[in-house]
Amino acid sequence: MSGLAGTSLGRYYLKERLGRGGMSEVYLAWDEQMQREVAIKVVSSTHIDYIERFHREAEAISHLHHAHILPALDYGEQEPWHYLVMPYIGHGTLRDLLINDPLTLEETGALLEQVTEALQFAHNQGIIHRDIKPSNILMRDDHYVYLADFGLAKTLEGGSTVTQTGNLLGTPEYMAPELADGPATTSSDLYALGILLYQMVTGQLPFSGETPVAVYWKQLQDMPTRPSHINPDVPPAIEQVIMKALDKKPQRRYQSAKELAEAYINALTFPNEVVKESVATPSFYSTTSMNGGSGSAAPVLAQREKLVLPNDPLVAPSAAPQRRRRLIRRVVPPAMRRRGSRAASLPPYPAEPVVPAVARQRVYVSQPKVQVPSRRRRILYRRRNRILISFMVVLVMLLLVIVVILTLAYIYK
């Protein structure tokens, strides 16, 4: 597939290959109609199982129009290729930003707010991402991000997944413990978001190992090192938010992406209030010797165990009204300015960075609806491919028979 550079798919001229996955490749291309650079993910129609996942990714993105979700611009087929067209974001990923040092707490809050807005919007549309990680968060510049790669996405209503193999899907370093024996839920996305938050403030993953199985075993059994033990600048209030997001039990985590973001910002802005709350309601990571103290913590913990939580992970338990805290303004922190900004050289699509006055509002980006082939069409494609392959095999066999006959006729002539 690497030979596609220098060729065209429809109106898109493929300039160079940007990356390669298991069965797909991503190319930098030129849109001759719109006169702009785009990124195109290409997969061969011979990979029948992967085509189904490819269609689901296109279908998922076509329903998600949000300022911080990388949109789909077009979807097409040109035998034997299927391709998905997206905006080209040339500023790297969050993974590139985390290579050298962790982010400051303020930088983390600014980026976390954008990612949680995108994830909350996807959850509200009934779509679970299932692969939240730094390499799937694209940087348009040093302070504006897109959530990308919905190739493993799953719908909440139908429970449909991108594969029928029964294997665990995702990246072990970011997979929730409950995925070992249960389906993906919004809470498993929030666990991955907690891993991401941990990584942003410490520069490290909470769990690592030599093999994917070893890593996931630690997700199931081990407790993460507290962030303050790695980065002393992490205050107790921020640490409490991160550890709650990484709770082994889904019902004890935050119940929505919005709730997690607000808890982080409140901890950053009002650390004393958050610390007082943690004393009143001990978390899953609290020590087990609490009833040896004042004697008031054990009854509170017992009451916490009896809470009846809703089945829908998007709905938070009812609680007493609390003061709403304004999220921090989306500005460029000084540490990010020092990294240098290349925003001026970026392509104009899709928009200029939003101004702080509008940053706290939900923004919807109007994108053309991507036409995804129906299930019937996909079945027809598979049958056609099988027929073509069978025809080619028969043709080759006939040619071999003819060659053998001619050879024998020449020998015994």
Report which residue type is found at 273: E
Catalytic residue among 31, 74, 131, 189: 131
Contact 203, 266 (CB under 8 A): no
Rounded CA-CA distance 143/343 in Å is: 10
CA distances from 239 to 4, 200, 202, 225, 253 (A): 48, 12, 11, 11, 14
Rounded Cα gap, residues 30 and 51, in angstroms? 24
> Can 131 be counted among the known catalytic residues?
yes
Q: Calculate the alpha carbon distances from 260 to 131, 270, 314, 318 in Å.
A: 18, 15, 12, 16
Residue 396 Ramachandran class (φ > 0 left, ψ -120 to 50 alpha, else beta): alpha
Report the C-alpha gap between 176 and 230 in whole angstroms: 22
Dihedral through CA 211, CA 217, CA 223, CA 225, nearest 10?
0
- Catalytic annotation, residues: 131
